[in-house]
Amino acid sequence: AQSVTQLGSHVSVSEGALVLLRCNYSSSVPPYLFWYVQYPNQGLQLLLKYTSAATLVKGINGFEAEFKKSETSFHLTKPSAHMSDAAEYFCAVSSPGGSGGGADGLTFGKGTHLIIQP
């Protein structure tokens, strides 16, 4: 069975500080990995994705994530936090034909709420 674990349901950083949101996954087959962002009262929006090409993936709004197979991790980082980054962030793993939900085999983590302190 595949799963996603996001460490910390809430993460608070100061404006201008490094953002690090942690995600670990388990999958029996080579995965696709995603980070989605949800701003207040909105739907989810794709931030970035890993599809077995480069292990360091750049996304929108200055975010990036690194796929580390040996650590089964896909942590999300941003060098300098901005107030507009305050949102809920979801890590997700997809392994078609795997044990996740639906034809896509997509499983979401429980989310990390990012708080930016002025």
Contact positions toward another protein, by CB under 8 A? 9, 32, 34, 41-46, 49, 51, 90, 92-94, 96, 101-106, 108-111
Q: Which is nearer to another protein, 3 or 80 (CB)?
A: 3
> Angle at Cα 8 formed by Cα 51 and Cα 45, nearest 5°?
45
Q: In what order do the strands lie in the sheet with 3-7?
A: 3-7, 19-26, 73-78, 64-68, 56-58
CB of 16 to another protein, least distance (A): 29
Q: Which is nearer to another protein, 2 or 73 (CB)?
A: 2
d(CA 112, CA 68): 20
d(CA 73, CA 87): 21
CB of 62 to another protein, least distance (A): 20
CB of 84 to another protein, least distance (A): 18
User: Both tokens of residue 50?
Assistant: 């890993």
Q: Which is nearer to another protein, 4 or 13 (CB)?
A: 4
CB of 110 to another protein, least distance (A): 4
